[in-house]
Amino acid sequence: MARHKSRIANRTTPNNNAAHAFDFSRRTAAVLLHPTSLPSRHGSGDLGHEAFAFVDFLASSGMKWWQTLPHTPPGREPGYSPYSSPSSFAGSPWLVSLDDLIERGYLDRTDIKPPKHVRDDRVNFPAVETYRMTALRIAYLTVCDRLPKSFHQFTQTHASWLNGWSLFAALRTHFDNKPWNDWPEAIRARKPDAIAHYTEKLADEICFHQFIQWLFYEQWLKLRKYAASKGVGLIGDVPIFVGHDSADVWCDQRLFMLDAKGNPKVVSGCPPDAFNKLGQVWNHAHYDWSKHVRSSFAWWIERFRATFALYDGVRIDHFLGFYRVWAVPFGAKDAVKGHWIKTPGRALFTEMQKALGDCPIIAEDLGTVTKEAMALRDDFGFPGMRVTMFGFDGGWDHLPHRHVPHCVAYTGTHDCDTVNGYALEQLKASRKPGNDSAKRYVANLIASLGITPADLPKQAASALIRHTLLSPANTVIIPIQDILGLGTEARMNLPGTEGNNWHWRLKPNALTPTHAKSLRSLIQASER
**In sequence order, which ranges of 105-158 are alpha helices (DSSP H)?**
125-143, 149-157
In this prediction, residue 353 carries a pLDDT of 96
pTM: 0.94
Residue 21 in domain: no
Residue 7 lies in a domain: no
Cβ atoms of 373 and 344 within 8 Å: the answer is no
Cα–Cα dist 241/89, whole Å: 13
In a domain, 17, yes or no: no
Note the Cα 192 to chain centre separation in Å: 34
- Domain-located, residue 403: yes
* C-beta separation of 479 from 412 below 8 A: yes
Closest CA to 411 of 83, 62, 67, 32: 32
Q: How far apart are CA 264 and CA 27, in angstroms?
A: 44
What gap in Å lies between CA 74 and CA 35, rounded to an integer?
A: 13
What sign does the CA torsion over 325, 329, 334, 338 have? negative
Task: Kindly state whether residue 356 falls inside one of the protein's structural domains.
Answer: yes
Catalytic residues: 317, 364, 415
Environment class of 389 (CB within 10 Å of its CB; exposed 0-12, middle 13-18, buried 19+): buried
- 3-state class of 432 per DSSP? coil
The sign of the dihedral angle between the CA atoms of 232, 237, 238, 240 is positive
**In this predicted structure, what is the pLDDT of residue 496?**
78
Single-letter amino acid code for the residue at 340: W
The pLDDT value given to residue 119: 76
Can you give the pLDDT at residue 22? 87
Helix, coil or strand: residue 425: helix
The total domain count for the chain is 1
Residue 428 counted as domain residue: yes
Q: Report if residue 10 sits inside a domain.
A: no
23 assigned to some structural domain: no
At 132, is the secondary structure helix, strand, or coil? helix
Q: How far apart are CA 330 and CA 337, in angstroms?
A: 11
What strands lie across the sheet with 280-285, from one edge to the other?
280-285, 266-270, 324-329, 339-342
- Burial label, 322 (beta-carbon count in 10 A; 0-12, 13-18, 19+): buried
CA atoms within 13 A on the CB side of 265: 12
R_g of the chain, CA atoms, integer Å: 23
Q: What angle do CA 371, 377, 381 make, to 5 degrees?
A: 140
CA distance 263 to 283: 11
CATH code for position 353: 3.20.20.80
3-state secondary structure 21-68: CCCCCCCEEEEECCHHHCCCCCCCCCCCHHHHHHHHHHHHHCCCEEEC
pLDDT string in tens for the chain (528-residue length): 333 333 333 333 344 443 456 899 999 999 999 999 999 999 999 999 999 999 999 999 999 999 999 999 999 877 899 999 999 999 999 999 999 999 999 999 988 888 776 777 899 999 999 999 999 999 999 999 999 999 999 999 999 999 999 999 999 999 999 999 999 999 999 999 999 999 999 999 999 999 999 999 999 999 999 999 999 999 999 999 999 999 999 999 999 999 999 999 999 999 998 778 999 899 999 999 999 999 999 999 999 999 999 999 999 999 999 999 999 999 999 999 999 999 999 999 999 999 999 999 999 999 889 999 999 999 999 999 999 999 998 888 999 999 999 999 999 999 999 999 999 999 999 999 989 999 999 999 999 999 999 999 999 999 999 999 999 999 999 999 999 999 999 999 998 788 889 999 999 999 999 999 999 999 999 999
pLDDT at 21: 67
Range of the domain at 86: 28-525
